[in-house]
Amino acid sequence: MENEVKVVFITGASTGIGLETARYFFARKWHVIATMRHPEKRKTPLHDLGLPDLVHLDVLDRSSIQSALKYTLDKYQKIDVLVNNAGYALFGPFEATNHEQIMREFNTNVFGLMEVTRQILPQFRKQKNGVIVNVASMAGRIAMPLYSLYVSSKWAIEGFSESLQYELKPLNIRVKIIEPGLIKTDFYERSLDKADNGALSEDYAGVLKSSGKMTGNSAASLGSEPEVIARVIYQAATDNSKRLRYFAGKNAKMGSTMRRLLPEGMFYSMMEKMTLG
Q: Measuring CA to CA, how many Å separate 213 from each of 126, 188, 209, 274?
A: 49, 12, 6, 11
195 touches 96 (CB < 8 A) = yes
CB 120 within 8 A of CB 161: no
Please name the residue ranges forming H helices in 223-263: 226-238, 252-261
Question: What angle, 0 to 180 degrees and rounded to 10, lies between the N-to-C axes of helices 16-27 and 226-238?
Answer: 50
The residues that bridge with 192 in the sheet, in sequence order, are 89
Catalytic residue among 150, 204, 234, 246: 150
CA distances (Å), origin 31, targets 4, 34, 155, 168, 264: 10, 9, 31, 24, 45
d(CA 125, CA 168): 9
Handedness of CA 219, 254, 228, 31 (dihedral sign): negative
Residues ≥6 apart with Cβ < 8 Å to 102: 90, 149
150 as an active site residue: the answer is: yes
Q: Which residues are catalytic?
A: 150
